[in-house]
Structure 1
Amino acid sequence: MSRGSSGIVAGLTAAALVAVGVLAYQASANAPDDLAAPGPKASVSASASEHAEPKEKKARPAALPADSGTGQRVVYALADRRVWIVDASGKATRTFEVTPSALNPLPGTYRVSTRSGPPTKGSDGVMIEHVVRFAVVEGISVGFSAAVDGSMKSPDPTLKTGGVRMSRDDGDAMWEFARVGTKVVVVR
């Protein structure tokens, strides 16, 4: 090969490497989330993500909290802003993000005390459904609920509210699972 030919080949090789690098970068930028870099991901339902206030995404906890009791129960982790629905065998069958109420119960074990299915006005004025109450803080009932409009906005901190909000799909699942007397374990 002549000296001129080897220069052309080297130039073409360099150009090909640049092109491959650009294509690889574009492919990784457009890859679905499940093919992106490994690691924990936040799980937000479509209705919640459409209406939720912008917030820093937290990594999804890997497992049910160790200090959350045994048997059939609902586990509410205050710091993680997450709920798990746990069947009688101790297996978490569903987990989802929630928006905490302005008033939070202390960590401990509670029981579902009352439920209200039809839409009603929440303590913050938002129309809600599938209310599952389990605690009382400062005279205000605290319970899980879903806003009829699907929103999960943070409560006004100047109001004493007790609604732990979730998406409507998650609210439906909670309603089906958490009957009066069902154990609710609140952890930090």
Structure 2
Amino acid sequence: MSKHRAQHRAPRRKGRIAAVVLALGLTAGAGSAAAMGVIPQLQTPEPATASDALAPAAIETASLEKLEIPKPKVTPAAQTVEAAPDAATLPAGSGTGYRIVFDQSDQRVWLVESDGSVERTYLVSGSKFNNLQPGSYQVQSKSRTANAFDGSGTMEYFVRFATGFSEPIGFHSVPKDHSGQLEQTKEQLGTRLSAGCVRQWLPDAIALWDFAPIGTRVVVTA
């Protein structure tokens, strides 16, 4: 090879080497740029926006255990309570000591012990007529059974203590007619229904019969 030909090949070879180096440089630069574009996305996430806080996932995982629902306050309605009358309170002027008290206005009887305590009190049905005056009486006689003065029926545990217009007046059970039917109901006690005597429900009539021997004082109040 001549010296002249060798001088012409050397520049051409250097040009090829420069082109290869330049191509490698551009490829490396492109790879570095691509790498620089990926790394920031992994290390520096975009800041959350306000709408992200209300995402469905956040709502579904929210804890509701600490929520306290106040209970409504219930104020009871004001009630007016009337004091019930004391049935054990004896009427004024009914005396002292061991006695039977019959109050005509209340249609009630009291069986009173010697110390003033009330053994029993209950409603009765007295006379529809004005044939028994207030005052002090005493038990005159007792009959286990008796007939009505007009022959309309019978009664039990008759305890006589006064005389009306012409017939005796006493305490006894509610009369029965000749068919055995009571002449009034228990619910009607407390109202005036008799012709002169004092009608009692049977257990009360028995209690007074046992309580009142002959001579027991009976006080009748208006």
The answer as to 2:107 corresponding to 1:81 is yes
What are the superposed Cα offsets for residues 55-113 of structure 1, whole Å, 9 maximum, x if unpaired? xxxx5545012311111100001111111001122211111111112344211100111
Equivalent residue for 1:107? 134
The answer as to 2:95 corresponding to 1:69 is yes
Structure 2: gaps of 5 or more residues: 1-68, 177-181
* CA distance in 2 between partners of 1:102 and 1:112 (Å): 22
Structure possessing the higher radius of gyration over alpha carbons: 2
Between the two structures, name the one with larger relative contact order (CA 8 Å, sep ≥ 6): 1
Shift of the 62–88 alpha-carbon distance from structure 1 to 2, 3 Å rule, reads closer
SS, match of residue 210 in structure 2: helix
User: Match for 2:202 among 168, 172, 176?
Assistant: 168
> How far apart are 1:130 and its partner, in Å?
0.4
Equivalent residue for 1:136? 163
The answer as to 2:214 corresponding to 1:180 is yes
Question: Higher helix fraction: Structure 1 or Structure 2?
Answer: 2
In the TM superposition, what are the counterparts of 1:111-126 in structure 2 within 5 Å? Answer: 111-118=138-145, 120-123=146-149, 125-126=152-153
* CA distance in 2 between partners of 1:155 and 1:83 (Å): 15
Between the aligned residues of both structures, percent identity stands at 34
RMSD: 3.0
Shift of the 123–95 alpha-carbon distance from structure 1 to 2, 3 Å rule, reads same
Shift of the 110–92 alpha-carbon distance from structure 1 to 2, 3 Å rule, reads same
* CA distance in 2 between partners of 1:38 and 1:155 (Å): 29
* CA distance in 2 between partners of 1:140 and 1:102 (Å): 15
In the TM superposition, what are the counterparts of 1:13-92 in structure 2 within 5 Å? Answer: 13=72, 37=81, 39-40=83-84, 59=85, 61=87, 63-92=89-118
> How far apart are 1:121 and its partner, in Å?
2.7
Structure 1: gaps of 5 or more residues: 1-8, 29-35, 41-58
Task: Answer whether contact 2:88 2:121 (CA < 8 A) is retained.
Answer: no
Task: Answer whether contact 1:122 1:163 (CA < 8 A) is retained.
Answer: no
> How far apart are 1:155 and its partner, in Å?
3.0
Equivalent residue for 1:155? 193
* CA distance in 2 between partners of 1:93 and 1:106 (Å): 25
* CA distance in 2 between partners of 1:105 and 1:167 (Å): 20
TM-score normalised according to structure 1 size: 0.63
